[in-house]
Structure 1
Amino acid sequence: MQAIDQRHLMPRVTDPGTHAQQLAYLRAWRSETIETTTSYAGNPAVADLHDAAQAAGIRSSAAVPLKDAQGHVFAVLILFGRYPGVFETPSARTFLAALGLLVSERQHETSREQRFAPISAERRHALRDRLYRGALELHYQPVVDLRCGKPDLVEALARLRLEDGTLASPAEFLPGFGATELVRLFRDGLHQALTQLQAWDAQGLKLVVSLNLPPAVLIHPDCSTWDP
């Protein structure tokens, strides 16, 4: 990183008309998608950086936008490659997308930890135990179409039934859950939501269910084969 900084491979840009605006990390800020520089050689957009990149042993780069819980970019993660085109293969693109989700999710968890009051290890264990004992309950909040006054969508809200019969809200149990628990929460919720949809369908109710999807599910290697 010291060599990169000394050679100004990530310059501060004040003139929007400069070629530096075509750098991958600046394009990622604007497009909010993964951007790459396939090669620093022969690329007029980064011609000014070619010699410095070569001296630092850098031949390519990738910029991964990191997004907060609202989907807004709050930072860009930059990776440098020793060889041209290392970030262009399908497997590399999958890796970059997964890395972005993991780092973003960690930021979400940190934000939740800061937003919610810390819970004790005993409380954390009790909440996880209730989850794995099948204590998840979905409560459905209708979304009404104002044009006809009828609901066409319901939002599934997760609650945990505690041993004393009370319900715990996400603000109470999410701080105690990591990626493994969030995957279990989603799978149990998906099963319940699909079962409820079948029951409504049998009654002639045609509704769509909205269910929160944690990033941990998207990057799970077996998620496409799960049987709800």
Structure 2
Amino acid sequence: MSDTEFAWPSEQIIIVDVEGNGHIPPDLVELAIAAFPATKDGAPISWLIKPPNRITWQAKNVHGIDNSDVDNCPGWDDIKDEVEQELTGKWFVAHNASVDYSVVKRHLPDWVPAGIIDTLRLARHVYPNASSHSLAALLTTTGLRDAVSGELHRAGEDARVTALLLTHLIEKSSTKSWIEICKIAQIQKPAEEKAPPPEQGSLW
């Protein structure tokens, strides 16, 4: 799919993934932003963050980040201006985006994205009969599993492969514009922070 075949938005598109510390509501321990479209050698921007509350063992079992990994990392107040600058005015794309968005929005209450696109919604449209629409399952369904080069459930790798997934889903959806993608997958009114559906699994 070339740029001449698809009407892209004027604003930049970024892919975001976060990991939390297992508390309710969760504190951020990792946040990553991947460029879109994904490039073969392009590494996401990522931050490890020391949360105000310790990482629970349940959360560590999901993403593998231990308290010792973040003990010497900056706190949220140390990096929030940098993160907000990277996010502001851009399309926010994530898998099960209402969860990632709600956590980031709670940490950056004044931040406003250009819009929010959920690749989970888009995947359900493109692959309605898939047994699971979790990110890991979709990588197998779409043939993107071989593109995984890092650890899934870490923010950087999840953001990177979600960027690849978005390209694949746009191609398979046969849409001709970002406006059409918005009709399928945009979150118009961000949901209140809540637990992700079972098929997506716990991010925290």
Return the TM-score normalized by structure 2.
0.22
Return the TM-score normalized by structure 1.
0.21
Which structure has the larger Rg over C-alpha atoms?
A: 1
Greater strand fraction, Structure 1 or Structure 2: 1
Q: Which has the higher contact order (CA 8 A, sep 6+)?
A: 2
Greater helix fraction, Structure 1 or Structure 2: 1
